[in-house]
Amino acid sequence: MTRIARFTCSNAAADAVQAQCSCCGYDDPIFAPEAIAPEAFARRDLFKRAGGLAGAAALASPLVAHAQTPQLAQAQSPVREIVQIAGNVYRFRNNFHFSVFAVTPAGVVATDPINADAATWLKNELRTRFNQSVRYLVYSHDHPDHINGGEVFADTATVVAHARARDKIRDERRRTAPVNIAFSEALTLELGGTVVDLEYVGRNHSDNSLVVRFPAARTLFAVDFIPVESVAFRDLHEGYVEEWFDSLKRVEAMDFDLLAPGHGPMGTKAHVRQFREYLETIRDGVLAGMRAGRSLEEIRPGIDLQKYANWAGYAQMRDLNIDGMHRYYTLFSRRSG
C-alpha cells in the first residue's frame, strides 16, 4: 500500500533541548503510568492481572535511584528508576519514556537510550548495581525521543536496528551512535546464555519499528505502536494505518505474556488485541459512514467507543483518532479509485 502523507520528525528540535519530540506524543502527562492506572502501576497489582507469572515477587520492589516521588509534570530532576520485570530482564524509566535491558554474565543487552543524560545515568547504574557494561544496544525505531544518546554506550556496545532506521540515522546525521548491525526481517542475539529475538512486524507507527522479545522472561518490548489502555495519539499522523492492523496481528501471534511498552504502564499480551480492536472499531465505523454518504461530523458521534472511555487520552483524542482514520481512508480511496 502506498504511504499516505506522514509527519516528519524534527531531530534538531528534540536534540536541542534533550527533550521529548512529538513523534509519538506519549510524553504528555495524561499518558504517564500513574495517570493511566494508578493501581496497575503497582507491581503486585500488575501481576495479579498477569496471572502470577514468574518474577512477580521481584517486581514488587522497584530499584529507585533517588528518593523522589513520580510526578505527572516535567520535574527539575527527571524521574528515573529501574524495575525488575522477570528473571534477568529489567525496565528503565526516564520520566515518560521507558526502555528494557537484560543483564547476563557477559554483559547487558539494552534497548533505547532515550537521551544522553538518561543513558549516562543508566550506564552508571549498570556498572554500580550489576558490574556490567552494555554489549548490545537495540534501537526500537528511528525516532529521536527514543534513540538519542546512543553514543554514551558506543565504547562497549554494538548497535543494532532495522535497515531503514540505520539509513535514516546515517543520512540525517542523528545525534546518536551509528548502527553497526542492521537487518530487514528478524535477528536473534545471544549473550551470556540469554537469547533476545528481534523482529520487524511491518509498518505501523513508523516504517522501521522492531519488537524485542525475551523468551525466557516471556516479555516483549514494543514502542509507540501498542500503548496499554491508551488511545492512539492525535490524528494518527504518524501511522501507516492499514498496515498497522497486520502488524498488531503478527505480535498477537508471538509467544509471550508480558508487554513492556515504551510509554505508560506494563501490560500483557491481551492488551495488543484490545488496542487492535479499538482501532478496528474506529475503522469500521468510519468506513460504514463513508459508504453511507455521511459527513465526518455525522460519523463522529455514531461510533460507539464508550467501553474505552477510561483509557488515557480518550477525552482529548477520541475525535482526533476518528478524524485521522477518516482522512486516511478518504485519501486512500482517492488514490486507489
pLDDT tens digits for range 103-141: 999 999 999 999 999 999 999 999 999 999 999 999 999
pLDDT tens digits for range 151-162: 999 999 999 999
pLDDT at residue 32, as a whole number: 63
Cβ contact 276:308 at 8 Å: no
- Residues 289 and 10: their CA atoms lie apart, in Å, by 35
- Residues 195 and 285: their CA atoms lie apart, in Å, by 42
pLDDT at 41 over 70: no
pLDDT at residue 36, as a whole number: 59
User: Domains in the chain, ordered, with CATH?
Assistant: 11-268 (3.60.15.10)
pLDDT at residue 49, as a whole number: 36
pLDDT tens digits for range 19-36: 444 455 555 666 566 665
pLDDT tens digits for range 269-312: 999 999 999 999 999 999 999 999 999 999 999 999 999 999 99
> Grid coordinates in use for 33?
503510568
Name residues whose C-beta falls within 8 Å of residue 288's C-beta, 6 or more positions apart in sequence.
none
Cβ contact 78:94 at 8 Å: yes
pLDDT tens digits for range 209-235: 999 999 999 999 999 999 999 999 899
Place of cell 500500500: 1
pLDDT at residue 77, as a whole number: 87
pLDDT tens digits for range 64-94: 443 334 444 444 689 999 999 999 999 999 9
* Strand, helix or coil for residue 250: helix
pLDDT at residue 38, as a whole number: 52
pLDDT at 43 over 90: no
Cβ contact 234:323 at 8 Å: no
Q: pTM of the prediction?
A: 0.82
